[in-house]
Amino acid sequence: MAIQIDHPCVQHKLGIIRASDTGHKRFRELATEITKFVCYEALKNIKTKEVIVQTPIAEARCRKIDTDIVVVPILRAGVGMLEGILELVPTARVGFVGLYRDEETKKPVTYYERFPGQIEGGTCIVIDPMLATGGSTVAALDLLKSSGAEHIVVICIVTCPEGIELVEAAHPDVKIYAAAIDDRLNERKYIVPGLGDAGDRLFGTSN
């Protein structure tokens, strides 16, 4: 299931981050801000427990998160979303997946993976600004599940029907949260209208 976050603040920031004249510094700031909003929605129903807190006046019944949270950026662009989630959930642990596309087979190949043990029994959040073809996301989900993860959500800034369809076919239990579900992929497998190359725009490596 794919869920688009239509909050006016998200959509306002999305309009700025899409613009071709938004520089890499502002792009990074906006990626952090949008991620925080989308993650807020994605964790809305996370497991909590009741605790008693002593205020200066009296005891108060409060709720605290009762699960380990593990954030897994897909390298490299996913790193640009990491700060937003850690600002929201500072105690989250971080794992990493590095993938590249084999030019002959066109399939994703893993070159790096590192997960904390808390993925078993915890809640994993896979992050990547663009969920385009869906191949990298599916590969990351395959790795996480083979390592023991059961509760996973995907957070992206922009996605499209083709990518959603591939992820849903391979992992129907995983929800996708996005600021925008765009129209389609073009012949170069870029999302239309999209953001361009999110990694280049995040890190200032565009020509």
User: Would you please indicate which residues are annotated as catalytic (active-site) residues?
Assistant: 101, 105, 197, 200
* 28 SS3 class: helix
Tokens linked to 6: 């239509």
**Helices 8-18/24-42 angle, 10° precision:** 150
The helix or strand, by DSSP H or E, that contains position 195, with its residue range, turns out to be none
∠ CA 174-38-36, rounded to 5°: 130
